[in-house]
Structure 1
């Protein structure tokens, strides 16, 4: 295990940092295995993020601005993030890409504080999918010219809700036309039945709706390890021919 995560001859703090970095690569490699072995549909992937609450009391913004920690137990690495469905959340953000179609599994993952915009994580999140996936479907948080260009440069199409406006350049109009087309709508319809339910499954299976540890690197290592374990469990179920490979709780003893 120490060799797998690159932990040999490292201190505890160094080990935590190394695990965080290596887990992202390991998860991406596992995603590549699912795609290359054709265990999942290899045309379209979905990308999104989900807010996770920090352990302990919240750090109010007024105190945060003054760098004042009024009570013990506050995770001072955590930050505030906003969700349209849940409002303001103090904590972290799990970013994932996943397969679409019959079998939905994580293909890549990242972890940040809750205030980091989704568009900032897009490129490292989908980099491992280059050459393996044609389309990336995402919500309006990813509607960014840089992301469209990055995707196109790597022979992928980013499909997310996009609108025309006065003076819309031709390249954006092409994206609007595709999104609004029958094909674009069919591709995009997979988002709500792929990435959104997957986040809930991961949170429910491992109990990480509230992160059980404190600190960015410890939280990242814990949550990303859960994502990796989920991948391994689903892969094992595929190998033994289980009818529903996503039934992992019994295998994990949960």
Structure 2
């Protein structure tokens, strides 16, 4: 039997969602947490958080119609190259919204571990949500590309992806694995990575060299090295800590 507290929490979330006029209580959520189960309370919070994201997306009233065939490998590459600019995160949001993909910045609810989400509203409008909970450039760009791949390959009217990518390893889920692979290879192509000096002899200079060659921010390369080696204490000064939220000052962190 459910406790009165759990029932009450669930009912509050359902009522909030119903006020949006959407059937989000029936939406299937997918969350990658290395197989860790999450509590029923977290499920209610996820529903509420996604409902808030949808509400904010509708308030934006994006006028541009989304055309699914606009997303391609070249589209993803163009998005990745925006990281080269010091205003990259803002340019990325502008680029996606000019193509009909609404981007919402929404901090996570207490007790949840969300980096990003990908879904569609009932009218078919694709929505990408980012929490910026890590406030690091390498996390921002990987999460963004991962969610765009979900929009391109996986999201339909009935499924929503809510992702924790910070501790993500090799996922057994085929759609998550595909999103990881395409995002990773878009930012740093496999054939280039394995032959690069940044991979073979990682250092600040080899990271800078590869970032210039690929025209991507060096934080992305530093983050790739840290993730693959598991040595998260190295290149801390290169991953762009504190360099994302400052572009979105109208949010409370």
Global fold match (TM > 0.5): no
Q: TM-score, normalised by structure 1?
A: 0.28
**Structure (1/2) with the larger helix percentage:** 2
